[in-house]
């Protein structure tokens, strides 16, 4: 008896992708709303992430002006942008940085762009309202597509903060590689409160999510708020993830009439508490020191 021919691999893979997408949508009500911060406990700094879709809106119009209007609406102290440059050719920047400084009081973190006309690194641009830039690292992320991240150490009024502004790939395997690369970079760097922020392109939740690799370091449950597509957000592609876990206190989308049309993503806005995070780090450090002292004392007693 003849056997039925196997389905082509592309259909099998498509089925797996669709299954993961449907599972994420079914779980949306319980897994994606995020947790509310108590009134008055929103933190001391506001950060945001916004994939501006090369300034092309859901109406197919190229309009950098309204993207900049949305950025001003968000009113964040720090904002990471994705797709801020042209993808090909001169890779020119798409925004008026002088206007962003004048109207939104935001300055771009200086980097070595791909071209003299470019703004970002693989389309990633970081804007900061105030504070000093201590260090900038431009990471080339592994994967099939050309992707990158900015790792920026800031000295802010409320304390030191590291921002990793990233745009992960479309393929799950690439996202897993990129998550591991971020963890490796953090391991090699000086310890300080850290935010991983950007379009991480992951809709899956739980163990099947590439972001589960980040769980030992980052809390990504609070940031799973639907931001895509902007007209009817269903998927939490954009994230703000904190380390230590006390860093991020609240996450929400910036949902306005203008933001729903300016890009295919809604901006993601987060409140962070740097002072609480620094306190947590001190407590962890003191606990580790105490454990090390106990082990040293026990070893000395045994030697006697």
- For the domain made up of 43-295, give the CATH fold: Deoxyribonuclease I; Chain A (3.60.10)
How far is residue 255's CA from residue 246's CA, in Å, rounded to a whole number? 25
How does strand 132-141 pair with strand 248-253?
Answer: unpaired
When comparing pLDDT for 16 and 53, which is higher? 53
Q: How many CA atoms lie within 13 A of 121 on its CB side?
A: 23
pLDDT at 117 (0 to 100): 83
Q: 193: closest CA among 124, 281, 264?
A: 281
Its pTM stands at 0.81
pLDDT digit string, tens, across residues 72-85: 999 999 999 999 99
pLDDT at 163 (0 to 100): 99
% of the chain residues with pLDDT over 70: 78
pLDDT at 286 (0 to 100): 52
Give me the mean pLDDT over the 42-57 stretch: 94
- Return the residue matching tokens 């801020």: 84
Residues 47, 240: contact at Cβ < 8 Å? yes
Cα angle value 92/97/98 (rounded, 5°):
135
Domain residues of the chain, as ranges?
A: 43-295
Mean pLDDT, rounded, of the chain: 84
pLDDT at 81 (0 to 100): 99
Q: 168: closest CA among 146, 136, 192?
A: 146
% of the chain residues with pLDDT over 90: 66
């Amino acid at each position: 008896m003849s056997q039925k021919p196997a389905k082509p691999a592309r259909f099998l893979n498509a089925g797996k992708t669709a299954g993961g997408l449907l599972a994420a949508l079914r779980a949306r009500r319980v897994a994606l709303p995020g947790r509310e911060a108590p009134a008055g406990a929103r933190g001391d700094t506001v950060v945001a992430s916004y994939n501006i879709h090369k300034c092309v809106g859901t109406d197919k119009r190229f309009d950098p002006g309204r993207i900049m209007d949305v950025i001003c609406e968000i009113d964040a102290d720090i904002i990471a942008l994705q797709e801020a440059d042209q993808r090909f050719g001169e890779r020119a920047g798409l925004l008026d940085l002088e206007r962003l400084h004048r109207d939104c009081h935001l300055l771009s973190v200086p980097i070595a762009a791909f071209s003299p006309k470019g703004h970002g690194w693989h389309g990633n641009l970081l804007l900061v309202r105030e504070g000093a830039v201590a260090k900038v690292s431009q990471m080339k992320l592994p994967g099939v597509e050309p992707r990158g991240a900015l790792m920026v150490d800031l000295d802010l009024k409320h304390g030191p903060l590291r921002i990793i502004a990233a745009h992960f790939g479309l393929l799950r395997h690439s996202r897993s590689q990129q998550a591991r690369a971020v963890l490796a970079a953090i391991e090699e760097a000086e310890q300080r409160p850290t935010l991983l922020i950007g379009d991480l392109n992951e809709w899956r939740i739980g163990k099947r999510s590439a972001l589960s690799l980040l769980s030992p370091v980052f809390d990504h449950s609070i940031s799973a708020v639907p931001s895509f597509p902007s007209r009817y957000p269903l998927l939490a592609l954009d994230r703000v993830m904190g380390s230590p876990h006390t860093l991020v206190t609240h996450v929400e989308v910036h949902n306005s009439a203008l933001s729903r049309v300016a890009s295919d993503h809604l901006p993601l806005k987060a409140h962070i508490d740097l002072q609480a995070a620094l306190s947590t780090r001190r407590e962890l450090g003191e606990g580790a020191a105490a454990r090390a002292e106990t082990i040293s004392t026990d070893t000395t007693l045994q030697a006697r």
